[in-house]
């Protein structure tokens, strides 16, 4: 019984074709039982063909046969157990795809599901197969059989076909997925904005405006994202940057205050002394000695 850690790095350029953010793999093994520890970086549909699959998350355990299939969310740690069928085979079709692909799908097909907010969404979603889905999986087996390389554009089209079908037959689940993608994307953009402005003299009100949020919403989301109030976080990061610059010994405190987001030398000195109990000049002299 083997155990391995798998990072889903399957999404890559295929046969020199442009990267589409989707990778379809026809996965076949002949071991009786295989256990894996998985760090899932992307989204994944696991479409079981033969055998049984068990999945364990921090809060749930699921076992399925080939009458159901799974959607794994990105950014999760999982344990899986693959059990071969009676003839010793385990087979599944795996569809890996990025959050960007999912975001573009929901942007492209904006009216496929209704707008109802529900932020609760499990790490692993279970769907039942019907006649369409059995035929859909058969189509994937046909285009991926005998080691065939599937064109990147066709892989994207097949993923969109599956997502559209699920939107029409599982609207509530797919709406929850849409909301999760939207929230995740907002957090990514917010993180990028905040961390690129550590060294700039910019107020929280201005950051909120650039994020298209009210100040109260910005502060609430910031606290959720960083688990610390924005004023304390910026002070901490700016002081870390200041000490790094002072340790080089190349610049005086009066020459770096604007590089760490302060509009005056005096305000920088006041904040620095609050944190370290020394003025920047005293700190610099101490570390140089």
For the chain, give the percent of residues with pLDDT over 90: 38
Q: Which two tokens stand for residue 86?
A: 């009676």
In terms of pTM, does the model score above 0.75?
Answer: no
More confident residue, 112 or 97: 97
57 within domain boundaries: yes
pLDDT at 58 over 80: no
37-41, 45-49, 135-139, 243-247 — which is least confidently predicted?
37-41
31-35, 73-77, 167-171, 264-268 — which is least confidently predicted?
31-35
Q: Place 46 in a pLDDT band, splitting at 50, 70 and 90.
A: very high
Whether residue 15 is found in the same domain as residue 134: yes
For the chain, give the percent of residues with pLDDT over 70: 88
More confident residue, 17 or 241: 241
pLDDT score, position 70: 92
CATH (domain of 201): 1.10.10.60
Q: What pLDDT digit, counting tens, does each position of 203-257 carry?
A: 999 999 988 889 999 999 898 888 899 999 999 999 999 999 888 877 888 889 9
82: buried, middle or exposed (CB in 10 Å: 19+, 13-18, 0-12)? buried
Angle at Cα 8 formed by Cα 7 and Cα 10, nearest 5°? 135
Whether residue 204 is found in the same domain as residue 136: no
pLDDT score, position 17: 47
Q: Which of 98, 136, 109 is nearest to 20 (CA)?
A: 98
pLDDT score, position 286: 82
pLDDT at 109 over 60: yes
Last residue in a domain, options 145, 180, 215:
180
pLDDT at 13 over 70: no
256 within domain boundaries: yes
Partners of residue 19 on adjacent β-strands: none
61-70, 106-115, 177-186 — which is least confidently predicted?
106-115
Whether residue 81 is found in the same domain as residue 165: yes
Structural domain count of the chain: 2
Q: Which two tokens stand for residue 54?
A: 């068990």
228 within domain boundaries: yes
Compute the mean pLDDT over every residue in the chain, rounded to the nearest whole number: 84
Q: Domain limits at 212?
A: 197-289
Whether residue 88 is found in the same domain as residue 214: no
Q: What pLDDT digit, counting tens, does each position of 154-181 carry?
A: 999 999 999 999 999 998 888 888 887 8
pLDDT at 2 over 60: no
53: buried, middle or exposed (CB in 10 Å: 19+, 13-18, 0-12)? buried
186 within domain boundaries: no
Alpha carbon separation from 172 to 120, 160, 176, 274 (Å, rounded): 11, 18, 6, 51
pLDDT score, position 15: 43
Q: Which of 66, 130, 127, 56 is nearest to 92 (CA)?
A: 66
Whether residue 158 is found in the same domain as residue 70: yes
Query: Following CA atoms 127, 129, 134, 138 in sequence, which dihedral angle do they give, to the nearest 10 degrees?
Result: 20
Q: Are strands 33-40 and 2-7 parallel, antiparallel or unpaired?
A: parallel
> b/e for 167-196, b at 16 or more Cβ within 10 A?
beebeebbbbbbbbbeebeeeeebeeebee
DSSP 248: H
- Cβ–Cβ under 8 Å, residues 77 and 184: no
Whether residue 226 is found in the same domain as residue 168: no
Query: Mean pLDDT throughout 267-285?
Result: 90
Whether residue 201 is found in the same domain as residue 176: no
């Amino acid at each position: 019984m083997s155990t391995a850690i798998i990072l889903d790095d399957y999404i890559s350029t295929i046969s020199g074709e442009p990267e589409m953010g989707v990778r379809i793999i026809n996965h076949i093994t002949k071991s009786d039982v295989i256990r894996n520890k998985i760090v899932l970086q992307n989204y994944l549909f696991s479409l079981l063909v033969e055998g049984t699959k068990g999945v364990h998350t921090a809060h749930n355990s699921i076992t399925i046969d080939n009458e159901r299939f799974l959607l794994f969310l990105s950014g999760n740690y999982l344990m899986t157990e693959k059990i071969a069928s009676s003839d010793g085979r385990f087979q599944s079709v795996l569809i890996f795809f990025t959050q960007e692909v999912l975001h573009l799908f929901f942007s492209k097909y904006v009216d496929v599901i209704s707008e109802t907010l529900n932020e609760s969404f499990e790490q692993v979603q279970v769907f039942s197969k019907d006649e369409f889905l059995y035929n859909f999986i058969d189509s994937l087996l046909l285009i991926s059989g005998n080691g065939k390389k599937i064109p990147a554009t066709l892989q994207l089209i097949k993923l969109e076909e599956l997502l559209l079908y699920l939107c029409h037959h599982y609207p509530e689940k797919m709406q929850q997925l849409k909301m999760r993608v939207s929230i995740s994307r907002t957090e990514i953009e917010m993180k990028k904005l905040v961390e690129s402005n550590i060294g700039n003299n910019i107020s929280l009100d201005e950051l909120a405006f650039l994020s298209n949020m009210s100040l109260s919403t910005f502060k609430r989301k910031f606290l959720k994202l960083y688990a610390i109030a924005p004023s304390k976080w910026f002070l901490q990061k700016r002081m870390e940057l200041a000490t790094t610059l002072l340790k080089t010994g190349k610049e005086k405190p009066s020459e770096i205050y604007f590089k760490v987001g302060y509009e005056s030398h005096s305000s920088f000195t006041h904040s620095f002394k609050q944190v370290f109990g020394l003025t920047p000049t005293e700190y610099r002299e101490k570390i140089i000695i």
